[in-house]
Structure 1
Amino acid sequence: MGDENLGAVGMATVWEYLRGERSTIDGGVHGKVTLTKSQPQYAITGAGPTTGNLYVNLHWTARTTQRSSSQLRRRLLQPRLVMPVEPQTYQSEQTNVDLDLACMYELADGTTGVVQPLGQLFGDLQHPPYIKLSGDDQYGSTSGETMYINLEKKDQFKRLLIFVYIYDGTPAFHQTHAQIQIVPPSGPRLEINLEAREAAARSCAVMLIENKGGQLMVRREVRYVHGFQSDLDRLYGFGMQWQRGYKEQPGS
């Protein structure tokens, strides 16, 4: 199955390159697949028994914006008269962005829930929902945020919606370079880039993992919404009840 997938993606890569998309497979030991609109699906397990964990990692950096020194001075001084043209010198501006990695799940027995930093719902790897979030990275470090999915319990999963949201009071997705990496125990790692400049979006459904006849299939979604978890829930029909939540600040 892995070789068939690699071959299909390899053929699609040529057309994606010609259309300006960059779905690629690297030359590493297991390779890399970038899921795109034209190549959105990949089988991450076979139909037989599976061991190990699936690693889902979110990392991001803030986009750097350029403002001229004269623009900054004019904004601060609020001049009422026309100012003479000044030489343009530039400095970088970076704003911290707090992205959170999360997962809505529906298990085979109909149980639904969410794993997320809000409410400290970090999950459990050995007991339902068999999903565990490593922690909450509020500053976009190199390691980012990682979620573990116990593939030995794959038959317990019906569907998993991996999503990213921006915590209240911080900038939107257009101010970040964000990427999701999916690393199975064997085979190539998958990448999904969140590159759309959705200035008003607060949440993004990144991918859907579904159990198809005992095989877990991942499908790229990258659907931005202006709201939060309840809006994503309505979009995908998990049917949960939501209320306002807050995160503990470092050192509190």
Structure 2
Amino acid sequence: MSFWSNWRFGGGNGFDSGSASSYAIELTKRRQVVSLTKQGAASGNLRVNLSWRMRTSDIGGPGRSGASLLRHPLQLFKPEVVQAQGPAVVQIDLDLACLYELKDGTKGVVQPLGSFFGDINSPPYVKLSGDDRFGSGSGETIYINMDHRDDIKRLLVFVYIYDGTPAFDRTHAVVTLYPSNGPRIEIGLDERAPQARSCAVVLIENNKGEMTVRREVKYVYGFQAELDRLYGWGLQWGRGYKSKV
């Protein structure tokens, strides 16, 4: 049976995400792991958010100065563009996604591509809310139902550039985890990785009942299939496209 048949879809976005914390833990190469269990956050909904904005200072563009925004306030709501190598000008579309493996062996992916948005109250207990194509302030969000942590073996949260020039270091992308208790957890994706199309960001694992979050930040030049091979998920992949808006 194909893993596609294991996917179930839920409706509605009325999720509780826990109270916001006023401080954050930044996962770095020196501090790579944090335990959700030890900080009392292995329950409720874990909110995972991707946000990004173009760094015009890196591409020689004029940017959006405060004076310019005062004169043209609607510019704030228009997506910025990044200058590719050569004359072409492109927009970058970052997608947030999650590979999942449950304790019963069920495996799959939650992602905008193919409209596989998951389910928060049924397997895989992971739900993607929306697809932000322009790097807005709210970004994209995945909700994980930690009340079903005993059903979860591992979750790999990753980001890929669906469209546009590979330029992770120019997007100033940040993935932030908002647990039900304790500080938020931040992972920056601003390392220089020329031509990388995808990045494994964090691995959430159930280690003998303890839920941990491990920083990965591993860039690859391909897409989901390459991440799959890197982490041994063993899924079958095919080419997919988004519907036009």
TM-score range, shorter chain: 0.7 to 0.9
Question: 2:112 is matched with which residue?
Answer: 117
Question: 1:213 is matched with which residue?
Answer: 208
Deviation of residue 159 (structure 1)? 0.5
Question: 2:154 is matched with which residue?
Answer: 159
Assess, with a 3 A threshold, how the Cα gap between structure 1 residues 35 and 49 changes in structure 2: closer, same or farther. Answer: closer
Question: 2:44 is matched with which residue?
Answer: 52
Deviation of residue 29 (structure 1)? 5.1
| Residue among 37, 42, 46 paired with 2:34 | 42
Residue 122 of structure 2 aligns to which amino acid in structure 1?
A: H
Q: How many residues align?
A: 199
Assess, with a 3 A threshold, how the Cα gap between structure 1 residues 46 and 226 changes in structure 2: closer, same or farther. Answer: same
Deviation of residue 44 (structure 1)? 1.3
Q: Is the 8 A contact 1:30 1:187 kept in 2?
A: no
Assess, with a 3 A threshold, how the Cα gap between structure 1 residues 239 and 37 changes in structure 2: closer, same or farther. Answer: same
User: Which structure's relative contact order is higher, taking Cα pairs within 8 Å and 6+ residues apart?
Assistant: 2
Question: 2:223 is matched with which residue?
Answer: 228
Counterpart CA distance in 1 for 2:123 and 2:139 is 24
Deviation of residue 172 (structure 1)? 2.6
User: Is 1:32 aligned with 2:19?
Assistant: no
Runs of 4+ in 1 over 3 A off after TM superposition: 46-51, 168-171
How big is each residue's C-alpha offset from its partner over 1:78-107, in whole Å with a ceiling of 9 and x where there is no partner? xxxxxxxxxxxxxxx833210000000110
How big is each residue's C-alpha offset from its partner over 1:149-183, in whole Å with a ceiling of 9 and x where there is no partner? 00100011100000000004444313211000001
Unaligned runs of 5+ in 2: 1-19, 63-79, 83-90
Counterpart CA distance in 2 for 1:212 and 1:124 is 23
Residue 27 of structure 2 aligns to which amino acid in structure 1?
A: L
- Please report the TM-score for the alignment, with normalisation by the length of structure 1: 0.75
Q: What is the Cα-based RMSD across aligned positions, in Å?
A: 2.0
- Please report the TM-score for the alignment, with normalisation by the length of structure 2: 0.77
Secondary structure, in 3 states, of the residue corresponding to 2:172? strand
Counterpart CA distance in 2 for 1:137 and 1:48 is 31
